[in-house]
Amino acid sequence: MSSGFQPLSALAPELLIEYLGREGHPAEAVRWKYFDSRFNRDRERGYAWVKDGKISGFLGLVPFQVAARDRMIEAAWTCDWSVQDATARGVGILLIRQAQEKYEYLTQLGGNQATGRIVERLSSKTVNDAGMVFHLPLRLGAVLRVARRRLPKLPVDAVNFVNQLPLRFPRKADSSPAIFETGVSRVLDVLLEPAQRGEIYSRYDFEYVQWQIADCPFLFSETCYVADRSGPSAAALTWREKKSPDFWRMALWSREGAHRELETVLSNVIRRVYDYKGFLLSFVVSRRDVAMIELLRSRNFVAAPRRRPLHIIVSKKTGEPIPELWPLSYLDTDYAYRF
């Protein structure tokens, strides 16, 4: 095998499994994340720097479309971006350049400080406070688990009875028309186009959500929705790690004007997670989504102090200002399974 930059589609899966395995990624995660032929649909899922027959640097890509006023833009979220060869100066940026030949927009939400500094230099649009994370603590275990992460030698959450002590008692769901289905329901298909959105926004199809959540080997998920004669009017997708019911995440959708139905869905989801003995329910939202922020705060969700920066790298330089991409959610990039 020749050295240099290679698209992931030209490499044997075992090479990436070995490379990401050195960074702690299970082989099962790599196979699901990068080698699902149904989701990939011949779209490029990453670029690698190959040296001496092995991958020494990699940039992962999650393809999607950005909807603008007059056209659809081929885009990809970046993820798993790293260079393991300390002598390879500039390879990280060159991996980005490789990906720009395939996708007009490369987007990043969050990321560590090292990648953030590089991306900010390349970015055509940076919004440092774009993404807000809201949490709803339901049981004392949520607080104790955070304490243990900060003080790992002090197992403050060792007693399960203490973990289960409620921090609040969500009201029981009334006799509302909310329906729960295990997994990612097809009812979401007609709600994925966001009712509230910016000049540009992520356009996700059902296959994208199915791949992110339903196909992930590590997640358990449910869909909650309210329907009327014209079909579903509001819905939520919730998920957690299969191995633990403690921490949950959520995405929400609704038709225009279905605020009451969205409130019903959210109330039912909160109670459902509580009944499952969940510790914490979390949600990612754009700073621009004022209505959603107000709804979350009305249900006692609390904003995390740190916000997630949004970067957009544009391959076609027109000189025109790039609008802010929103809405934002846990379905962006590869956050869904990273608990």
Confidence of residue 2 (pLDDT cuts 50, 70, 90): low
Confidence of residue 143 (pLDDT cuts 50, 70, 90): confident
276 and 166, same structural domain? yes
How many C-beta neighbours within 10 Å does residue 26 have?
Answer: 13
Those residues whose C-beta lies under 8 Å from the C-beta of residue 239, and which sit 6 or more positions away, are 213, 219, 220, 221, 222, 248, 249, 250, 336
Residue 312: inside a domain, yes or no? Answer: no
Strand partners, 132: 285
The pLDDT value recorded for residue 318 is 78
Q: Is the pLDDT of residue 1 over 60?
A: no
The pLDDT value recorded for residue 168 is 83
Q: Is the pLDDT of residue 113 over 80?
A: no
Lowest-pLDDT range, 11-25, 138-152, 199-213, 276-290? 138-152
Lowest-pLDDT range, 29-38, 144-153, 178-187, 235-244? 144-153
296 and 191, same structural domain? yes
Digit-coded pLDDT (tens) for 197-247: 999 999 999 999 999 999 999 999 999 999 888 889 999 999 999 999 999
171 and 87, same structural domain? no
155 and 59, same structural domain? no
Residue 297: inside a domain, yes or no? Answer: yes
103, 123, 144 - which closes a domain: 103
Q: Which domain holds residue 15?
A: 4-103
Q: What is the CATH number of the domain that holds 329?
A: 3.40.630.30
Residue 115: inside a domain, yes or no? Answer: no
138 and 85, same structural domain? no
Domain count, the chain: 2
CA distance 153 to 241: 24
Confidence of residue 134 (pLDDT cuts 50, 70, 90): very high
Residue 174 carries which side chain, given as an amino acid letter? Answer: D
Residue 221: inside a domain, yes or no? Answer: yes
174 and 55, same structural domain? no
Residue 235 carries which side chain, given as an amino acid letter? Answer: A
Q: Is the pLDDT of residue 264 over 70?
A: yes
62, 88, 103 - which closes a domain: 103
Digit-coded pLDDT (tens) for 268-279: 999 999 999 999
Residue 28: inside a domain, yes or no? Answer: yes
Q: Is the pLDDT of residue 171 over 90?
A: no
- Listed residue (127, 187, 63, 135) closest to 326, CA to CA: 127
Q: What is the pTM of this model?
A: 0.93
Rounded to the nearest integer, the mean pLDDT of the chain is 93
Q: Is the pLDDT of residue 172 over 80?
A: no
234 and 332, same structural domain? yes
- Listed residue (160, 232, 155, 242) closest to 195, CA to CA: 232
Residue 113: inside a domain, yes or no? Answer: no
